[in-house]
Amino acid sequence: MAVGSFNFPTMPNIQGVKLNTVCAGIKQTVKDDLLVIALDEGGTCAGVFTRNAFCAAPVHVAKSNLAHNPRWLLVNSGNANAGMGRPGMRDALETCAQLAHLVGAKPAQVLPFSTGVIGQPLPVDKLVSALPAAVSGLSGGHWDKAARAIMTTDTFAKGVTHCLDIDGHSVHFNGIAKGSGMIQPDMATMLAFIATDAKIGQNLLQTCLAAAAGQSFNRITVDGDTSTNDAVMVMASGYSSAPEITAGSQALARFSEALLGVCKQLAELIVRDGEGATKLIRIVVSEALTDEEAVQVGKTIAHSPLVKTAFFASDPNWGRILAAVGRAGIHKMVLDDVQIFLDDVCIVNHGGRADGYTEAAGQQVMDKAEITVAVKLGRGAACQEVLTCDFSYDYVKINAEYRT
């Protein structure tokens, strides 16, 4: 179940970027589970990764290879190749070497990505056997197939496309993502791959991506767990007729804004597809001293099982939200200055239940599929948004049966 409806967009080709998917039979033999992405020579690539100390072998390899002008991305679903120690590293490196040999590249030019069950050996033979078919069918028009091949517990394929005008020149973006559970930055149990035809240097692209991820993928949470395998990648082919994007330019500001927009849209789709989700919750914390303080309050609310189950039950139990704000660890918070709202219904003011609040008004908001919790701390000018979802029976069922 997902919150709202979503149709995968029609995505134009990004010149200089090709994709293809095949079924390698890594965990099942019904759908494609292997994705290869090729970036033409001269393009640039940037990435951000999970900070989980037990990050998967492909994360280690991809982070290392990112400095070697990568041109190939190799993605599998069905197996995370995580928690496997040295054999996992050996397998990740072997898959890179096999793809590199097939396409005439250096192994360091291949970035591996895996998603699926932790603690099981990667079936390297199956993956390698499927590579020739994946490479032979590379095309610029397989974005929908790519989005489906990387899915695990996702209920729909997630994609975003955008066209930016810079001084009369078009710059295109296509992005796909997967993620449904174990969603808590840095980052989530998610993979995202974004391609653009912009011409931009690797260092500048890395700066743009880090900033965009910080305001998008690092502002979502489904269940508070941080995955071992997360990565967000941006590939820039340089084929746009727009001039090269340079530091301090107006074009850089426009490009950064567009990239952030794509990341935010993909991040929201992940939350809408949270495992067992029936509601999308926007938590907007304003009047904080700092952005970090605002995020701290927002995530404390978002991570509360009591708050999340109340939303699932459509129960206007506003005391749970009040308690979450109170335990967020905000130094010297003045309770009389705090206001809390469900949509436009004030539930807390002057340190307690708001005058005029009625259970009926709260119930009317809680019955909705999309709800905004607004917290005004009355301490400063910082404002941040965190996206989350409710916590349903199905979340427990999906994760209890995940390995079966």
Place of tokens 């973006």: 173
**Residues forming beta bridges with residue 184, ordered by sequence position:** none
Q: Find, among 267, 157, 225, 215, the residue nearest to 384 by Cα.
A: 215
Place of tokens 């603690």: 119
Q: What interhelical angle do 57-65 and 85-103 show, nearest 10?
A: 50
Return left, alpha or beta for 214; rule: phi > 0 is left, psi -120 to 50 is alpha, else beta. alpha
Angle (nearest 5°) at CA 85 between 83 and 91: 100
Tokens linked to 103: 């396409």
Cβ atoms of 31 and 215 within 8 Å: the answer is no
Q: Catalytic site residues?
A: 189
SS3 332: coil
For 89, phi then psi, to 5°, come to -65, -45
Q: Find, among 89, 57, 79, the residue nearest to 126 by Cα.
A: 79
Rounded CA-CA distance 227/279 in Å is: 22
DSSP string covering 52-116: -TT--HHHHHHHHHTTS---EEEEEEEE---S-HHHHHHHHHHHHHHHHHHHT--GGGEEEEEEE
Q: What letter would DSSP give residue 243?
A: P
Q: Find, among 293, 262, 267, the residue nearest to 280 by Cα.
A: 267
Q: Find, among 302, 235, 316, the residue nearest to 274 by Cα.
A: 302
Cβ atoms of 273 and 154 within 8 Å: the answer is yes
Alpha helices in 168-249 (DSSP H): 202-214
The verdict on whether omega for the bond into residue 366 sits within 30 degrees of 0, i.e. cis, is no
Q: What interhelical angle do 250-272 and 202-214 show, nearest 10?
A: 40
Q: Find, among 85, 53, 73, 118, the residue nearest to 232 by Cα.
A: 73
